[in-house]
Amino acid sequence: MRQILHVDCDCFFAAVEMRDQPKYQHLPIAIGGAKDRRGVISTCNYPARKYGVRSALATSQALKLCPNLILLPGDMAKYKAVSKEVMDILRQYAFSIEPVSIDEAFLELAPTSNAPLVAKQIREHIESQLGITVSVGIAPNKFLAKVASDWRKPNGQFLIEPSDVTEFVARLPIKRIPGVGPKGAQKLNDIGIYTCGDINKINKESLIQRFGKFAQMLLLRAQGEDDRPVAISGQRKSISIERTFAQDINAPDDIQQALEDMWPTFLSRVEQARLSCTQLAPFVKIKFADFQVTTLANHHKTASIEDYKALIAQAVLRADKAIRLIGIGGRLVVGDDRQLPLFN
């Protein structure tokens, strides 16, 4: 059985604005074009959604629903940069990642991965590193994973187990099926179809006669089926983990212990990515007590704990200071490409 995650940022453009200007956190904000230029809303934060403000609504309409709405023009270059950072983090968790839009991606995990745990790690990682939240759907295929990511929004995750699929789809409104727009939904409502369960009850041939290819897609989805693969986009470049210590460390024994504590987490990341240490060239990062950072890499293509011990021992000699953070990573060596960045 496949394990697919769908990751979708919560109120993406608005979340970036709230992160950069915390005064907006609890106020209703929207990104969109001005009312007098007949603008529309791109998105809005959750406080604004309480008033009924939504994507694609005319700004004039949004201001009627919520007169206090703070309208921001938006900064596409900034959102694209944050999107790239999100995708770079996601790439650390799965070998196959398919970005679908600026704020969402599918990931395929190994069948043996603990998918809910990976989802939780992804959510925590993105929130702590980028200051925005995401929601994650976990399911045996793309269709169900996408539906599931919406189920506990914002900042939530929802798992559809293979054994729950039949029951889950039976009650699912047809408008939740990607590809069923308002018009398609209306046509189906006209013949008494409201849920996926209703599709399964009606005569297949008559549905195909009426709707052609669209019906075939509906029949599959109504059974909870979707065999579309996750299309790999771009190669993962590196895997790394970091640990910041509660108290700065200094003694060689403490440094060694810290590395041994981090090692199992690193190995599980490598495994999650369906890679092996023999494909990775090791690198380390040390942040000293005064925040000075140094990195050191070994270009040989194996990452063993001994390699890391040696690299760290060498890196700590660069300054006579206590250590605040240790990072260890492996860079995927593809052919002879040695130009990839280390920590991104």
Q: Using CA atoms, how far apart are residues 264 and 256, in angstroms rounded to an integer?
A: 14
Q: Using CA atoms, how far apart are residues 291 and 280, in angstroms rounded to an integer?
A: 27
Is the CB of 80 or the CB of 338 nearer to ligand TTP? 80
- Do the Cβ atoms of 312 and 250 come closer than 8 Å? no
- Do the Cβ atoms of 88 and 344 come closer than 8 Å? yes
Q: Does 153 bind ligand TTP (CB under 6 A)?
A: yes
Closest distance to ligand TTP from the beta carbon of 43 (Å): 3
Residues near Mg ion (CB under 5 A), total: 4
Is the CB of 18 or the CB of 215 nearer to ligand TTP? 18
Helix (H, G, I), strand (E, B) or coil at 271: helix
Is the CB of 102 or the CB of 208 nearer to Mg ion? 102
Q: Omega into 154 within 30° of 0, i.e. cis?
A: yes
Q: Per-residue x/- marks for ligand TTP, 224-263, CB under 6 A?
A: ----------------------------------------
Q: Using CA atoms, how far apart are residues 238 and 76, in angstroms rounded to an integer?
A: 27
Is the CB of 134 or the CB of 326 nearer to Mg ion? 134
Q: Does 56 bind ligand TTP (CB under 6 A)?
A: yes
Overall size of the chain counted in residues: 344
Q: Does 103 bind Mg ion (CB under 5 A)?
A: yes
Answer for which of 3, 4, 8, 286 binds ligand TTP (CB under 6 A) is 8
Is the CB of 10 or the CB of 108 nearer to ligand TTP? 10
Nearest to 343 by CA among 236, 240, 234: 240
Q: Per-residue x/- marks for ligand TTP, 124-143, CB under 6 A?
A: --------------------
Residues near ligand TTP (CB under 6 A), total: 14
Answer for which of 19, 24, 55, 302 binds ligand TTP (CB under 6 A) is 55
Q: Using CA atoms, how far apart are residues 136 and 186, in angstroms rounded to an integer?
A: 29
Helix (H, G, I), strand (E, B) or coil at 110: coil
Answer for which of 5, 18, 43, 63 binds ligand TTP (CB under 6 A) is 43
Q: Which helix (H) or strand (E) holds 149?
A: helix 142-149
Q: Which two tokens stand for residue 165?
A: 């699929």
Residues 296-325 that bind Mg ion (CB under 5 A): none
DSSP class of residue 332?
A: E
Is the CB of 56 or the CB of 77 nearer to ligand TTP? 56
Residues 8-27 that bind Mg ion (CB under 5 A): 8-9, 12
Q: Using CA atoms, how far apart are residues 287 and 301, in angstroms rounded to an integer?
A: 24
Closest distance to ligand TTP from the beta carbon of 104 (Å): 6
Answer for which of 3, 6, 10, 249 binds ligand TTP (CB under 6 A) is 10
Concerning whether 17 is annotated as a catalytic residue, the answer is no
- DSSP characters over 162-197: GGGHHHHHHT-BGGGSTT--HHHHHHHHHTT--BHH
Q: Which of 17, 104, 127, 260 is catalytic?
A: 104
Q: Per-residue x/- marks for ligand TTP, 65-104, CB under 6 A?
A: -------------------------------------xx-
Q: Using CA atoms, how far apart are residues 132 and 235, in angstroms rounded to an integer?
A: 24
Q: Which long-range contacts (CB under 8 A, 24 or more apart) does 61-64 make?
A: 62/30, 62/32, 63/35
Sites of contact with ligand TTP (CB under 6 A) = 8-13, 42-43, 55-56, 102-103, 153-154
Rule CB under 5 A: which residues touch Mg ion? Answer: 8-9, 12, 103
Catalytic residues, by residue number, are 104
